[in-house]
Structure 1
Amino acid sequence: MDKRILGAVCAGGLMMLAGVAQAGVIERACRASDRAAATRQMCSCIQSVANKHLSRSEQRKASKFFADPHMAQEVRQSDKRSDEVLWKRYKAFGRQAAQTCR
């Protein structure tokens, strides 16, 4: 194979890997969900809103809600102060994402 073609293929593969590596936990969870609306553009937008409204640790916890909606219900109903804070911030994030990412 021509070295130029091989170089271009390798560079393209590295650029694709870099794009995946840059995706945040919310974006990856969104893309992995079975929702029809979970397009690359939509999930990227949701991640952008999450970056403004949720800390990294909150994003990690909230990303699990995509695969396990019951976990969100448990956080919502929890008596723990930390879960109450997370839930309020998550709701605000959800409202902003709905407005921004339509």
Structure 2
Amino acid sequence: MIACYILRCADLSYYVGSTRNLEHRLEQHASGMGSAYTAKRLPVELMWFAEFDRIDDAYLLEKRIQGWSRAKREALIAGRFNDLPALSRKKFPRAAG
């Protein structure tokens, strides 16, 4: 299975990755051998994943999600897909006038 995934770390931060074998990758993260980031923030918990036929599709989504705000990641995890477009909009301060 090729997957893009989101882990929640012990410090409540999120880690986004992609892999050809999700089960094996989760074992690596849990053992502290998955990444330097997650190794310092154990335990980790799988919060969300999506399956793909091609690794490049999973990787592209990984990179996109890595640029998202925490609120947008949490909307994805919760399945609140209708909230995603609004969470993409930049909030600019109003000009005094």
TM (norm. structure 2) is: 0.32
TM (norm. structure 1) is: 0.31
